[in-house]
Amino acid sequence: MGGPNLEVFKFAVYMFLPVVALLHYGDPEWYKRNVLPYKDRMFPEDKGNVKVPTDQTAVREELARIRAEKLARRLEREKAEAVNQRNSLGKLV
C-alpha cells in the first residue's frame, strides 16, 4: 500500500479541494460575471398578466380566457399538422 505519505496527501486533497472550490465559486464577482447572464437568459422575467383576480367571477373569466387561448393554439397546431400530412402524402404519390 501507499504508506503514511499517501494518507497525508489524500487528507490534504480531501480538505483543501472543497475549500479552494468554495473560494473560487463563492466570489461575488465570479457569480455576477458567470451566473447572472445565464440566469436572465434561462428565466426571463414574466411580463404577462400581473393583476391576480380576487373574486370568483374574475377567476372564472380568466380561466375561460386561458381555455379559449389554449383551444385556439391547439386548433392552429392541428391545422398545421394536417397541412403537413397532406403535403407529405402528396410527395409520396
Which residue in this structure is represented by grid cell 447572464?
Answer: 37
Residue 92 has pLDDT above 80, yes or no: no
Residue 69: predicted pLDDT = 96
pLDDT over 90 (residue 88): no
Q: How far apart are CA 49 and CA 59, in angstroms?
A: 13
Residue 51, amino acid: K
pLDDT digits (tens, 9 = 90+) for 68-84: 999 999 999 999 999 88
Q: Is the pLDDT of residue 93 over 90?
A: no
- Residue-wise pLDDT for 22-53, tens only, equals 999 999 999 999 988 888 888 877 766 567 78
- Give this prediction's pTM: 0.42
DSSP notation for 28-46: HHHHHHHTHHHHHHHSPPP
Cell, residue 24: 473560487
